[in-house]
Amino acid sequence: MKALLFSSKKHDRIYFDAANKSLQLAIDYQLASLGTETVALCKGYEAVCVIVNDRLNAKTIEQMAAIGVKHIILRCAGYNNVDLAAAERFGLTVSRVPAYSPEAVAEHTVALMMMLSRKLHKAYNRVRENNFSLDGPLGFNFHGKTVGIIGTGKIGR
C-alpha cells in the first residue's frame, strides 16, 4: 500500500518510520494539510493519513475518490473534520485512533490545574527575568474547594 501522511511533523516521521520497518509500506510525508486546495497531492496514493487540522469535506473526498484514494486514516481520535457520509457515498474506508491514553490526558489536566492555581507560568517568566519579588502572582489552595468533572467518557472516568 502506498500512503501519504499529511500535516507531518518530525515526530510523525520518527514514529511512523520505526513502526513501518516491519510493515514495509510505502509512506510519503507532506508538510501541507489536506483540503480542497491540496487534494491533487493524493494522486497515486491508495491511502491518506490525516490529523484533526486537515479538512476532508464532501468536495475533497469526492476528488480523492476520483483519483484513486481508497482509505482515510486518522491519526487522532476525533473525526469531526471528515464528512463520513461523503466517504461512505464515494466508497472510502475511514479508520481512526480509538482512544488516547486517558490516564495521560487526565494527568496532564491535573498538571495544568496545579500550574494555574499556583500561577507557575507567571512565576517561571519572572524568574527568567531575574524578578524574584513576592509581590503579585499569589496562588490558591485546592484544599476545601470542589472540583467537578464534566463528562464521563474514558478520560473523565
pLDDT, residue 78, reads: 85
> What pTM, to 2 d.p., does this model score?
0.74
pLDDT, residue 100, reads: 77
Query: Per-residue pLDDT for the chain (157 aa), expressed as one digit of tens each?
Result: 899 999 999 999 999 999 988 888 899 999 999 999 999 999 999 999 999 999 999 999 999 999 999 999 999 888 999 999 999 999 999 999 887 788 888 899 899 999 999 999 998 999 999 999 888 788 899 999 998 888 777 777 7
Domains of the chain from N-terminus onward: 2-95 (3.40.50.720), 101-157 (no CATH)
pLDDT, residue 98, reads: 83
Q: What is the DSSP string of the chain?
A: -EEEE-S--HHHHHHHHHHHHHH--EEEE-SSPPSTTTGGGGTT-SEEEE-TTS-B-HHHHHHHHHTT--EEEESSS--TTB-HHHHHHTT-EEE------HHHHHHHHHHHHHHHHTTHHHHHHHHHTT----SS------TT--------STTT-
